Amino acid sequence: MDIVIASRNAGKIREMREALETSGLRLLTFEDLGDWPEPEETGRTLEQNAILKAAALRERFSLPALADDSGLEVDFLGGRPGIHSSRYAGPEGDAEKNMTLMLEELEGVPPQKRTARFACVIALSLEGDTRLRRGVCEGRIVEARKGLGGFGYDPVFQPDGFDRTMAELTLAEKNRISHRGKPLAAMREVLRAK
């Protein structure tokens, strides 16, 4: 079965390929298909945005499409940046600027008040049907960037049960516990049943 991954983010694509690796499944990206639609994320929830993206690619290519929307929710910041995570510091979506702004806003906040979670919704758009799976990874925001792996906020997010940030974990470790890895594992079972 061919499935379109609705992302241009190399890190997300790598994680999705690793998590969904199964025989009989071919994951296609913008590099394979060209003429890529960029649906505007007008939803007010992760679920709505994931569905928008998956539906746009399903319609454009007449193939099943898989999309995610994810966000970082920081308790001290009232749940921000949430659905605005990728553009927290501005419309250009600069991960370094996003982390800098967050660390500035949390400066002086003690570790016990830096609790946060990554949340992710995966949408699979099939002909006449959309399946959703949600995942959450609890943790906290550290005081300075650590690690070179991952992408986005990974260098400042330390998942519960670890003394390392997401950027210091291997891809296999990250996929086992992450907000994206959990719903992708559930979606792999949906796809196997097809």
Is residue 2 annotated as a catalytic residue, yes or no? no
Any idea what DSSP says for residue 42?
-
Kindly report the CA angle at 138 between 86 and 55, in degrees rounded to 5?
Answer: 45
* β-pair type (81-82, 157-159): unpaired
> Considering 35, 68, 69, 94, which one is annotated as catalytic?
69
Q: Are the C-beta atoms of 50 and 60 separated by less than 8 Å?
A: no
Residues 6+ away with beta carbon under 8 Å from 57: 4, 6, 37, 63, 65, 67, 125
CA distance 139 to 47: 22
Which residues, including other chains, have CB under 8 Å from residue 183's CB and lie 6 or more apart?
A: 68, 120, 121, 122, 133, 134, 135
- Residues 175 and 184: their CA atoms lie apart, in Å, by 9
Q: What DSSP character marks residue 161? A: T
Active-site positions read 69
